[in-house]
């Protein structure tokens, strides 16, 4: 897709914000094409559907890289709603990339980094370990960034466990993760 190569050129020219915008436009276009194919009969669906789904995952992975670059360079555009919101976007993009290709270790690394920044240490450890183990098994060269990230996660986990014990720290958003609402007597006018 032309947009993917255009985004790569912009990234190489250090125009990360523009590269992210082009990548976002490409993601939207791919989503529209996938939705159109979903509406067709099975016999009419394009043989290129799998290629389109793969591209969709790659675009999300690429955008997660662009977002991380913007966050780490303190880009005001990405950080306008706070670093938590920005790192959450990275997680969403890496999740989408990993749904298309669970073996995308670059996306796993980026998700581990984002989850670490969000304080989701156990989940970050799973992804970081997956990446470190992959490189240890499949290449002669380790991934030093993944090793360093896993060590940082381990250190933070030790601090939390020393502070809170095996229960882990208080999760202020624990109610949001539960299936039942916090308030059960809300009328239908307030239902989501």
Cα angle 157, 160, 166 (rounded to 5 degrees) comes to 90
Cα–Cα dist 68/190, whole Å: 36
Q: What pLDDT digit, counting tens, does each position of 82-127 carry?
A: 999 999 999 999 999 999 999 999 999 999 999 999 999 999 999 9
Other beta carbons within 10 Å of 70: 21
Rounded (10°) angle between helices 83-100 and 49-72? 160
pLDDT for the residue 45: 57
pLDDT for the residue 35: 87
Distances (CA, A) of 80 to 63, 75, 84, 112, 114: 18, 9, 10, 23, 17
Average pLDDT value for residue range 25-51: 78
Q: State yes or no: pLDDT of 2 exceeds 60.
A: yes
Question: What is this structure's pTM?
Answer: 0.80
% of the chain exceeding 90 in pLDDT: 59
Average pLDDT value for residue range 55-60: 94
Nearby residues of 38 by Cβ (< 8 Å), 6 or more positions away: none
Confidence of residue 158 (pLDDT cuts 50, 70, 90): very high
User: Picking from 22-31, 154-163, 183-192, which range would have the lowest pLDDT averaged per residue?
Assistant: 183-192
From 137, 143, 54, 139, select the one nearest 102 (Cα to Cα): 54
pLDDT for the residue 58: 95
């Amino acid at each position: 897709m032309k947009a993917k190569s255009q985004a790569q050129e912009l990234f190489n020219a250090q125009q990360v914000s523009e590269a992210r915008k082009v990548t976002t436009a490409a993601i939207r276009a791919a989503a529209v094409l996938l939705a159109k194919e979903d509406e067709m009969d099975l016999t009419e669906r394009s043989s290129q559907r799998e290629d389109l789904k793969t591209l969709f995952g790659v675009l999300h992975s690429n955008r997660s890289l662009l977002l991380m670059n913007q966050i780490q360079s303190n880009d005001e555009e990405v950080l306008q709603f706070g670093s938590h919101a920005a790192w959450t976007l990275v997680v969403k993009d890496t999740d989408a990339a990993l749904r298309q290709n669970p073996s995308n270790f670059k996306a796993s690394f980026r998700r581990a980094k984002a989850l670490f920044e969000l304080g989701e240490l156990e989940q970050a450890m799973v992804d970081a370990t997956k990446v470190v183990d992959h490189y240890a098994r499949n290449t002669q060269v380790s991934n030093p960034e993944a090793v360093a990230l896993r060590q940082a996660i381990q250190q933070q986990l030790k601090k939390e466990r020393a502070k809170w014990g095996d229960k882990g720290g208080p999760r202020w958003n624990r109610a949001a993760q539960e299936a039942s609402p916090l308030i059960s007597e809300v009328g239908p006018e307030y239902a989501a």
